[in-house]
Each structure stands twice: as structure tokens, then as C-alpha cells.
Structure 1
Amino acid sequence: MAVRNIFIRSFFHYSSKSQSIPRFRNQASKSISGAPGRHCRNLIVIFQRYGFLPSEVPNYLSKIKFIHTQSSEEVERLGIHEISPAAIRNVVEISVRFGLTPGDVIEHVRALVVLGFSETTITRILDIVPTAILLREDRIRDTVEFLMGIGIQKIDIDRIFGLFPAIASFSVENRLKPLLDEFRVLGFSLNEIREEVVRNPKILGFENGELSHCLEMLRSLKCRQAIKANICRDGEIRAGYEVKLRVECLRRCGLTYRDAFTVLWKEPRAVLYETQDIEKKIEFLVGKMKLKVQCLVEVPEYLGVSFDKRIVPRWNVIEFLKMRDEVWLRNIVNLSRSRFYDMYVKAYPECEKMYGRFGVFRSRSRHPVGMWKLFKPPRFPMSGEDTRNIKSNMEYLS
């Protein structure tokens, strides 16, 4: 199907189906001159359905004058059918900001169709990267040819753009080729790169040199082999991407780039936790404990322990005892269960109830009572030869 004016078609797609249009008595409907009353009200309702504020509608309609001359019957037969409200809003805002005409938008979207992208992928691109309609066709074509050059099939290219639309705005010479060279310098073959890109296209979002920093940190970890093997269970590229996500999460929470890497290097178990869990722990640290996020550099183990099983129960005890200084943060994280129980919980019955099942610590024997008799080694009678050997050894020692 030929691609025509996307946002006009989608606006009237809903207006033709609406049976009743409510009357608006506001300044928005009065400030648009030259448009018929009913048609104007239809446009206001449609804009509001796509998330525009009532105060924004007059400004957009005054700048998109051609929309008043379009009939719903004409535009109903044209365009992409499956398009999200966010994509519609993005296209309108980009058109108003850069002065694009309907013909410009049609031409740019048609270029995406010619390159073989599906309607779902085009919608994703307009939703996530609306500035892609400003790019020349040859630039996006270069990106497609670059992916085909490393052996990716055309059907996978459409999927890559759908899962990671930001690649539409990447420059091949300044972004993608240097990233490919960096992969090869790190020792990855072309087959490994291709398989990982198809499996997780978001690895193409690495900045130049970022993957090297992530893998350098992973390869220099001094932790238990089981933790390192669990981090790299899906390969080093995927592990490097997981480190990238955690670094970005820590930076959003207030740490510097260097401190974020320091925290992950000291506590690699944090890489095994989801970013939502890390954000929840930091939110609890700053909001509930009233500590600064920079204390994670001194006590990075905080991110490597269970939130529900260790942090929250122990914090309840510490808060009850009113011990609010930075010393107890390390005690919350590093003390063993029995040590923490003996120091803070055992002497206070209220704390023991508060601590719940995490506080009742009793040393239990390995076997039930009375079973030790069954595991006691049997005694054998001493022979005469054994007695003579013992006496000879004792005489030698004397």
C-alpha cells in the first residue's frame, strides 16, 4: 500500500468513527479562525486523544493550515493503519518545529518503505526516534548496507530496527564502523558479533570505547569463580552490555562514571541484580536511611545482598535502636546472621519479634538427638601384638 500523509490519515481515522462530538466552550475552539465550526471541534477532539493539551491545540492548528482543507473521506483511504498516538504526536511536533509540509513527511516515510521496513517497524522508529524523518534516505540505506555487510539477513534487519530504533540515527562512519573495529580488537570474530547483534540489537548502542572499559573491568575481577562464571554465562559481549546498563543506572542515581565502575568492581554481585532492584536499594538508602549515594563507594556490598532478607529486617532493628551513623551500614551488610543477631537482636525481645524469622538463630546439631551413637566408630579389642608394639615404641621414646 502506498504511504501518504500519516498523521492526517490517523487523525481522521478516529474522527470518521466517532458518532458524537461533544461541544467545547473554551478559547481553543474560538481562537482558530477560518475553519468550519464542526470540523474545528473534530480536530480539537482528535488532538486531545493523542495527548495534546487543550492549550497546545490552537498553536498546532494555526501552524498546520493544510489540515483544515482535508476531508475525512479522502484521507481515510490512505496511509499506515497501525500507528501509535505517540508517533502521531512526534510527527506533528517535528513538522511544526522544522516547517515540514505533508509532501516532505510523505517522502521521508516512503523512503523507509522502499528500504523494506514493515509498518510496525516504521511506527516504532517514528515513536522512539521521530527525527529519523529528517534524515536523508542514503544515510539510512548506508546503515542497512553496513548490517548486510556483516552477514545479517534482510528480515533480521527489519527486526533490528524494530527492537532498537535508535540505530536509524547512527552514523556508519563515526559510530558503527568504529564499534565493529573495537569488537574485533577485543578478540571477537565476525560470527560472534553477528549472532550477538541479531540476538540483542541494543549492543549497537555502545559508545566508542565503552565496551573496552566494561570488559577490562570484568576481566580484572577478583571474586569467586562461580560469580564470574554466572556473570559471563551468556558470553562476554552480553556481560559487557549488562555492566553498561548497571553503570548507567548508578549514574542516574547520582554516582560519577568512575565511581560506578569502582562499585561494580568491588561488588560484582550487583551485576547479577536487575536494574530495578538496584534502583530500589538506592532509593531505600537515600530516602529511608537518609544516607548519601556516595557511601556506596565505601560500602559497595550493600548492592550485592538481598533487599528483603537482609537490608530491610536489619534496618528495622537498627532504626529501633537509634544507631544512625555510617558505621552500622557496614554492619548491616557484612555481619553474618549469627553475629548480627548476637550484637543487636538477642538482648532485645522487641527486636527479636521485629526481626522475624531472620532473627531467630539457634545452633542446631547436624543429626537428631540420639543419632550420635549410630555414628560413633566401633572399638576393637587390642591384640597381644598391638600391645608389644606400643611397649617397644614407649621404650624407644624413653
Structure 2
Amino acid sequence: MLRFLHRKLIQIRVPAKDSKTRVFSPQNHHPTLQSISNLSHSTLQSSLTLSYLEKSCGLSPESALSASKKVTLKTAENPDSVLSLLKSHGLSKTHISKLISRRPQLLSANPDKTLKPKIRFFNDLGFSGAALAVFLSSYPIVLCSHLKNRIIPSVDFLKNIVHTNENVLLSIKRWPRIINCNLQTKMNPNLSILKDHGVPESNIVKLITTSPRAPVHNPERFRETVEIVKEVGFNPVTLNFILAVRVVTGLSKLNWERKIELYKSLGWSGDEVLSAFRKQPLCMITSEKKIKRVVNFFVDELGWKPSAISKKLIHIRVPAKDSKSLVFSPQNHHPTLQSISNLSHSTLQSSLTLSYLEKSCGLSPESALSASKKVTLKTTENPDSVLSLLKSHGLSKTHISKLISTRPQVLSANPDKTLKPKIQFFNDLGFSGAALAVLLSSYPIVLCSHLKNRIIPSVNFLKTIVHTNENVLLSIKRWPPILNYDIQTKVNPNLSILKDHGVPESNIVKLITTSPRALVHIPQRFRETLERVKEIGFNPVTLHFILAVRVVTGLSKLNWERKIELYKSLGWSGDEVLSAFRMQPMCMVTSEKKIKRVVSFFVDELGWKPSAISKYPNILLLSIDKRIVPRCSVVRLLMSEGLVKKDLRIYGVLQLDENSFYEKFVSEFQNRVPEVLKAYEGKMEFGWEKEGQSYNS
């Protein structure tokens, strides 16, 4: 009989309701489990690879299957280090999933010798935060390229032409593959061709930063392209010449002819197509659907002749189908156009503000309307500079949208004098990349706080207490509003109260780094909290005392009483609730839903008495879906095979770290009992045989 001795943190996955009737036996396995017994060692590695790609890298089963053909993982140690490195540089789960699905071989790369130097190189170049994440996830092959023989030479060559890191970044963002090209061989001849045709250096830079793919074409074909563009009538000294080169190099002869035929079918002559191309080269790469909609609207709805459109290439939003009655004349403008003439200067600014908040900041119409009441934009110049600054420090569109919706006034701040010094201060403190983006987007008011009078004094005071920048960062991440408090007035009295009660300095540091909010309570109430915690039986020199203070300061009297009533409704006595709180204070802030699931499982499925659970309250803290059921499934399976003793202390098994458990119970037995891997991965239903059985606490 299993003896479950739970004295420390335990997780349980609650089985499906119908699992009560299941009997865990070799005769009643899932068909997939039966097939595992025939797996060879290599197939087991394949299974580990598939599992890792799905669970740790976030790939879909189909993508994982495809990726597993390109990489084989023997253990999770190196892949874990690779993922840890990527996460530390701001790559989200989505970025990592995209990266690994495209280049799964990276999981086998040496994170310190191969990957870290390349990532550091791109950091130094200017890629960080969201920009680095997008770059690596969209073009992960760059992490497989040789740093000294390919990446650095390509970047140096580019910089020699476009002069600045910013332009190098623009070129790489436009076409990441440029890093893997032998630019000396591929691009240099084409640059000479452009110079020979009189293209100014500034326009060559423009071509490389907007369409770096164009100048790596075959030199012979590139020369023909440049000559065709000149023959059409473009002047090599103009930017339109470069634009035309971009278009022609990007279009095959077939697609060029198709686009000409499309325009002709809509009523243009060949000369009109060519004339339109001279005026606006990009008209030849506009989608067929858009061309038809625009031309049809101007011809059918506004009464234009097709030839008139070829003379006036404009950007236009095609109205809804029900706008057929519109006639484009001064007497019958669209209602919106009529209303604009009546707008006051302030209303126009409001319209500009709404439009900017939606289009440039990514706010929903509702959020934009709300935000527009807090800020008025006269022009887009300053807001553009603000957004550019935020993006350059790794804030994604999502971060910016969240930041601006919460604190739209930031758009009116001086980016150089007000925002940049604060961001630089947080950079120096240790916030950068994803960490900085999260801080600013979750607590943007900090950008409106005075740097010298509020932020710096708060940080300096914190550092005198917690001693290190790392601890200061932890405190701010836990509760960013601490930056806006007069800590000298709010926190200092409570620190004295803690010391008066005999709390060690190390534990005070622990409280500030884990729950800084607890220390900004009114001193009188804070003192009452400490005295209450001592009366319950906590020793001020222990970490449990600090934990109890965190819990009590964070719970209102009403919520405290509700939690007590919840435990009583599940079969605990008042004394048992208090006893559980003494052993594990966090049991009082565990969610009601989780408490009910855990208690119900232990009582209904394992046959425990409610009072037994109160003696081991740590079981209420951890996820009930990730550890216990897989491990108990493994042990139960091995017991059924006679490979482990039936009096094995499950408590000890649950306390093992992941690697130790895997080595001792999975790796050790998976050749003899292949199903053990499925059990470990949580892919087996765990049913308890309850005929006359109960499981001791």
C-alpha cells in the first residue's frame, strides 16, 4: 500500500471525473502506451525530442514532428540552456516557437561559445529587446552563420557603404539575408554599376537601406535593369530612379507584362501605363485587387476617365459599396468632407489626436477616445520622436499601445530632455530589453515622475536598505509604484518597527524584495500587524514571520474571515486553520478554486481526512497539474511491474529535483517499461484503485 507522507510542497493534477472507475493496469492502457514497449533507444530519443519541442518550445504537434527530423535531443540540459539564453535577451514564447520551428538545430548549439557571442554582437550593433527578438525569430539561420567569417565581414562591408549603425540596422531589418551574402562578390560590382550611371552616393545608401535585395542581383542583369530604367526616362540623380530600380529588380518579366495588361484592361493605353510608372514606380507592384477597386471607384462612382487616373496617381481609401450615389463635386462632397470645413482648430487637433492614437499607437477606437481626453496633439513631430525613442529601447507595438493607453500624456513629453534621461537611468540600473519594456508599459507613470526629485531618491534609499542593484530591481519589478513613494516618510518608520520587533536585517531585505508594498502601510496599522503575527505564534527571527506579515498586510479583515470560513466548509476546524497558517502562511492567499480542487482530490480520491491536509498545508501552494500525477503515475506503473517497493515513501519522490527524478525513475527503467515515459510526460490517465484502499497521509 502506498504511504503518502506530505510534509513539503506538493502538486497534484486532478484526474477527469470519470477516472474514478479506471483501474491502472497493463491490460487497460491506452493503445499508444502499448506501442511504446516496442520503441528502440533511438525512438525513445525521438520521443524525448518531440516532447521537448512541444512542451518547452511551444511547437504544434505537426511542427514538432517536422522539426524532430532535423534534430535529436539526448537530454534537455543543453536545449534548456539555449532557451534560457534566448529568454534572457527578450524572446517571448511566440518568438522562440517561431525560431525553433524554423531552425531546430539551434537546440544543439553551444549557448556560450556559439550563440552568446553572436547575440552580443547584434546587441552592440543596436539590436535589442523586441527588435532582436523579431530579427532572430524571423531569420534564425543567422545564429548558425559563422560570426568571424560571415556576419562580421558582411556588417563591416555594409557600414563602409551606408556609414552608420542605424543604416546597417535598417538594411538588415529590410532583408536579414544580406548578412549571409558574400557582399564583396555580390554587391560590390552592382555598386560600381550605379556609380558609373551617375547615381549619387546618398541615393545608393537609400537603395541599400530600403531594398538591400536589389543590389545583390547578378551584375549582368542588374546593369540591364539600370539601363532599362534610364531608357524609360528616369534621371539617375533622382530618388525616383532608385525607386524604379527597386521595382524592376523585384518583378519578373512575366509579372511586369501581366501588370501592363491589367492596366490596359481597365482602360489605359500603353503610353499611359509607362507615364504612370514614371510618375510613381510603385504603381507596378500595387496588388491587382487594389488597382481594380481604385480604378473602378473613380470610373464608376466619380465619373473619371481611365486616362485621368493615370495622370493623377494618388493614395485613396475606397469607400463602402453603398456609396454609389456619391458624385465628386463641390456641391455633393462626402458628409465627412463637408463636416471638416466646419471644424474649429481645436476639433481638428482632436481629430488628429484620435487618428494618431489609433494608427500610430495601436489603440482601439474606444481606448483612443478615452486617451484623447488626456492629451491634445497639435502635430505629429514630437509624438513621432517619442515613439521612435521607445521603439529604439525595445518596446514592441503591444508595449507602446499599453503604455500610451495608460499614460497618453507621454506623447507630449520632451523625448530628449524628459524621457531619454529617465530611460538611461533605468538602463544603468539594470533595466533593458524586455525588462525595461515591461516596466514602462505596466507602469508608464514613472516616465512622468521627476527624475532628480522622486525616482533617484527612491532608488538611492532602496539601495541603502537592500544593498545591491539586483535587489533594487527585484523590489521595483515586484511593485513599480514604490518609485513614486516618499520612501523616507512611508517606509522608514516601518523599518524601525521591524527592527524593534527583532527582525534580522537579512529578513527585512527579503520582505522588501518580495513584497515592498507591505512596507508602505500606515505605521500604526503596520505595528498592529506585527503584534498580531507574533501573538499567533510566529518568531520574528524566522522567514516565516516575514511571510506572515506579507499575507496579513495584503488581506482585508473580510477576506481573512472568508478564507477561514472556506476551510471550515471543507472540514477543517478553526484551530486547524490557524495551525496550517503557522506552518504555511501562503495558504491564506491561495485561490478558493485551487483550495477546493486540492482538498477535494485528497479527500475524494486519496481517502485522506480533511484534518490530515491541514497538517501539510504546503500542498496547497503548487500547481496541481504538473508534478504529482506524472510522478505518481510513474511510481504506480513501476510498482505494478515490481520494480520499486510498495512501501516507497512518495513524499521523498516528490521532493526530488527534476533531473534526479528523471534519472532515478524514468531513464533507469524506460528500456524495461517504455510506458514510463508517457507516464512522466503526463499523458496517462491516473486512476486510483479504491476498493477498500485508502492512502495514508
TM-score where L is the length of structure 1: 0.49
Larger relative contact order, structure 1 or 2 (CA cutoff 8 Å, min sep 6): 2
